[in-house]
Structure 1
Amino acid sequence: MGKAIGILACFLIVALDVTAGILGIKAEAAQNQEKHLRLWIFECKEPSHDAFVLGLAAAILLGLAHVIANLIGGCNICNREDLRNASPSNKLSLACLVFTWIIVAVGMSMLVIGTISNKKSRASCGFTHHHFLSTGGILCMVHAVFSVAYYVTSTAIML
């Protein structure tokens, strides 16, 4: 892949992840504007349609950024023998790949939990679910860092 295309792909991944992060944080703000009654660890609140839409958009953008990062990064280590004989740069690439998968799993889970709690049919009482959307939004931005690091280390191996 050409150098200019690689730089453009990195900017695209960062733009998608940062946008997803901002949407997650805005979804949290929209959720906090709704009426709620709290008694110890139990909370009754009305769902926010804006938080639902923003959270769903953030989850979609995070997934899209992750797919793009994995497609352009490729896979350089396919078995244990490759891992034993790998250079430090290759091992760093694998570590970044593993971190991106962990971050996307946790971030996507947080965004989905926050989004589902704002579904129209979920107007009920239960345990408090604070900061899922904003934490998922922050993890989107962390995903951008590790995705770009993964791309840079995986393409540095090929040079």
Structure 2
Amino acid sequence: MVKNYGFLVCIVVIVMDVVAGILGIQAEIAQNKVKDLKMWVLVCRDPSYQAFKLGLSASILLALAHAIAHFLGGCICTKSIEEYKRATSNRQLAMAFLILSWILLGVDFSMLIIGTLANSRSRESCGISNHRFLSIGGVLCFVHGLFTVAYFVSATATKREEYK
């Protein structure tokens, strides 16, 4: 029996990343609804529990989508530059998208976690105004979905080439 679950995996990863992006943007909206006190260049803001929940949910969905795509796509790695240059175009694409998706995961996850922790109930934040970490993280979720699906497709194509 042939296992052709690639289309389903792509749809699941895209949906999870889109939902994570929407949750990140909604968390920013919830955070902006909280009253803040501005004193000269400092801004004091009470934490928003709704923004905390939405940001945490977005972070979890982002990590889960990344894990699913990379676990089911497998690891397409090369050991040296020479091996990379001799590799097929699908393998080279898989390596490029692997690196880009990990970089985006690091930046995106960091942005979402920083924005989420700013809304933790245990602290009231006073400092220079928050620079929209949650909304930037939400937008980057969409880009992460594209690179992760591109990695999954090229990794699957590489495996099929090697099998033949």
| Inter-CA distance 98–40: structure 2 relative to 1 (3 Å threshold) | farther
Give 1:140's aligned residue.
141
Structure-to-structure mapping, 1:42-53, within 5 angstroms: 42-53=42-53
| Inter-CA distance 41–94: structure 2 relative to 1 (3 Å threshold) | farther
CA deviations on 1:6-55 (whole Å, 9 max, x unpaired) are 11111110111111000000000000000012345421111100000000
**One-letter identity of the residue aligned with 2:115:** G
- The unaligned stretches of length 5 or more in structure 1 are none
Give 1:68's aligned residue.
68
1:120 aligns to what SS in structure 2?
coil
Q: Which moved more, 1:82-91 or 1:98-107?
A: 82-91
Deviation, structure 1 residue 63:
0.4
Structure-to-structure mapping, 1:8-157, within 5 angstroms: 8-80=8-80, 81-157=82-158
How high is the sequence identity, in percent, across the aligned residues?
48
**One-letter identity of the residue aligned with 2:99:** V
C-alpha separation in 2, matches of 1:40 and 1:85 = 59
C-alpha separation in 2, matches of 1:27 and 1:89 = 38
Deviation, structure 1 residue 76:
2.3
Contact 2:38/2:44, CA 8 A, preserved across alignment: yes
**One-letter identity of the residue aligned with 1:110:** M
Q: Which moved more, 1:82-91 or 1:21-30?
A: 82-91
Question: Would you identify which runs of 4 or more consecutive aligned residues in structure 1 move more than 4 Å?
Answer: none
Q: How well do the aligned residues superpose, as a CA RMSD in angstroms?
A: 1.4
Q: TM-score, normalised by structure 1?
A: 0.93
1:125 aligns to what SS in structure 2?
strand
In the alignment of these two chains, the number of paired residues is 158
